[in-house]
């Protein structure tokens, strides 16, 4: 039994050596890659083949355009490599090799952000994040070399602060592709700001509620200096009929009327130990806090009173409400207090 075991072990050991030798040999076999990425405009043997040896740096194909992907049939690859003594290539059963040329894509947003950055603080423009850039023509995505990582550099710039019109050209250091592209852009820059706008149409004098207001970004020239925040607008009333989407401005808002002209109101007089109320009629309309002219209908005298709420006004203790009425009410109050 011991002899058989030893023999079996020796056999396994021998097989192990052979397997290891085979692995070492296989490791040096040129193998075709299925997915290939390149950064230059040519594809070398070493890009396509693992273990290509001295032939690794030999160019064989033109690479796809920047940012593009192409497929090459395996038969075409093996034919191209045959002159370099690479005939025993392990193709792994592949039918084609996919080659992608790496790039740095630059979008219209990238260009707009760079223009905003170039204009910020100049020609009367504000911060870059508040500038909205529109182009006269669509700016299509373009690709430059993957290693061209520098920012676009302004080579020429003109801008009109009155209209926001700009004409700007860029360069990209280290990029041959950028030199073949016309990096000139013409358009309009507008400074934006957040303003309160109406979510629905309002009638004249209607009070603004929280649900009636939203925040939108509008051009600063359109918003003007009188724009208000939602907090400033809520609770105010519109002076005139207003449409949905309209920017709310201070000059177009008023405090809501608490008293209408000719409305019957309660006139109050408060002083230590005395709280008197009489009926009156408002001679003019007003909001809370306004001082209006009020007719005391019991004495037929007119007094100045401060509006304190809907249908309510208050007079100062020094104001002669109505001598006869107030005096009589005060006498009645005193009489009740002595009983």
Asked whether this chain's domains 193-254 and 258-338 adopt the same fold, the reply is: no
Of the two residues 100 and 26, the one the predictor is more confident about is: 100
Q: Which helix (H) or strand (E) holds 335?
A: helix 323-338
286: helix, strand or coil: strand
For residue 84, pLDDT over 90 is answered with no
Lowest mean pLDDT among 7-21, 70-84, 137-151, 321-335: 7-21
The pLDDT score that the predictor gives to residue 127 is 92
d(CA 322, CA 2): 133
The residues with which 37 forms a beta bridge, in sequence order, are 100
For residue 318, pLDDT over 60 is answered with yes
How many residues make up the chain in this entry? 339
For the chain, what percent of residues have pLDDT higher than 90?
55
Of the two residues 138 and 274, the one the predictor is more confident about is: 138
For residue 94, pLDDT over 60 is answered with yes
Question: Would the pTM of this model clear 0.75, i.e. be above it?
Answer: no
d(CA 215, CA 230): 8
Q: 83-87, 219-223, 291-295 — which one is most confidently predicted on average? A: 291-295
The pLDDT score that the predictor gives to residue 332 is 45
For residue 123, pLDDT over 90 is answered with no
d(CA 194, CA 192): 7
The pLDDT mean for the chain works out to 85
Average pLDDT of the residues in 136-141: 95
Burial 255-267 (b: 16+ CB within 10 A, else e): ebbbbeeeeebeb
**DSSP letter string, 243-269:** -TTPBPBGGGEEPPEEE-TT-EEEEEE
289: helix, strand or coil: coil
CATH of 193-254, one of 3.40.50.9100, 3.30.365.10, 3.90.1210.10, 2.60.120.260: 3.90.1210.10
Tell me: the pLDDT tens digits for 7-50?
A: 333 433 444 544 444 444 455 889 999 999 999 999 999 999 99
For residue 3, pLDDT over 50 is answered with no
Q: Where residue 241 falls among pLDDT bands split at 50, 70, 90?
A: very high
For residue 157, pLDDT over 50 is answered with yes
The pLDDT score that the predictor gives to residue 27 is 55
Sign of the alpha-carbon torsion through 142, 145, 149, 152: negative
The residues with which 216 forms a beta bridge, in sequence order, are 195
Q: What is the maximum alpha-carbon separation in the chain?
A: 139
Q: Can you give the residue ranges of every domain in the chain?
A: 26-101, 106-192, 193-254, 258-338
d(CA 127, CA 218): 15
User: Check: CATH 2.60.480 for 26-101?
Assistant: yes
Tell me: the pLDDT tens digits for 206-230?
A: 999 999 999 999 888 887 778 888 9
d(CA 305, CA 287): 12
User: Check: CATH 2.30.30.760 for 258-338?
Assistant: yes
The pLDDT score that the predictor gives to residue 298 is 83
Q: Where residue 284 falls among pLDDT bands split at 50, 70, 90?
A: very high
């Amino acid at each position: 039994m011991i002899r058989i075991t030893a023999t079996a072990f020796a056999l396994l050991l021998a097989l192990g050596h052979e397997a290891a030798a085979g692995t070492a040999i296989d490791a040096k076999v040129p193998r075709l890659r299925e997915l290939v990425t390149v950064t230059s405009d040519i594809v070398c043997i070493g890009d396509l083949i693992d273990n290509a040896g001295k032939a690794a740096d030999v160019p064989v194909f033109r690479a796809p355009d920047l940012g593009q992907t192409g497929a090459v049939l395996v038969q075409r690859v093996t034919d191209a490599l045959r002159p370099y003594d690479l005939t025993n290539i392990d193709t792994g059963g592949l039918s084609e090799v996919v080659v992608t040329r790496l790039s740095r894509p630059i979008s219209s947003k990238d260009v707009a952000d760079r223009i905003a950055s170039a204009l910020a603080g100049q020609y009367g423009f504000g911060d870059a994040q508040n500038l909205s850039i529109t182009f006269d023509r669509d700016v299509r995505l373009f690709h430059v070399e993957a290693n061209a990582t520098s920012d676009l550099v302004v080579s020429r710039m003109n801008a009109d602060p009155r209209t926001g019109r700009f004409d700007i050209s860029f360069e990209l250091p280290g990029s041959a592709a950028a030199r073949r592209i016309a990096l000139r852009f013409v358009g309009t820059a507008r400074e934006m700001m957040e303003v309160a706008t109406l979510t629905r149409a309002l009638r004249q004098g209607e009070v603004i509620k929280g649900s009636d207001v939203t925040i939108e970004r509008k051009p600063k020239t359109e918003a003007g200096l009188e724009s208000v925040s939602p907090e400033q607008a809520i609770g105010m009333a519109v002076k005139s009929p207003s449409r949905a989407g309209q920017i709310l401005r201070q000059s177009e808002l008023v405090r809501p009327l608490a008293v209408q002209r000719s409305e019957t109101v309660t006139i109050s007089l408060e002083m230590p130990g005395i709280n008197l109320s009489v009926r009156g009629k408002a001679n003019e309309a007003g909001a809370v806090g306004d001082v209006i002219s009020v007719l005391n209908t019991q004495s037929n005298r007119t007094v100045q009173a401060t509006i304190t709420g809907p249908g309510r006004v208050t007079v100062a203790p020094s104001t002669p409400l109505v001598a006869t009425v107030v005096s009589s009410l005060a006498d009645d109050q005193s009489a009740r207090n002595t009983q």
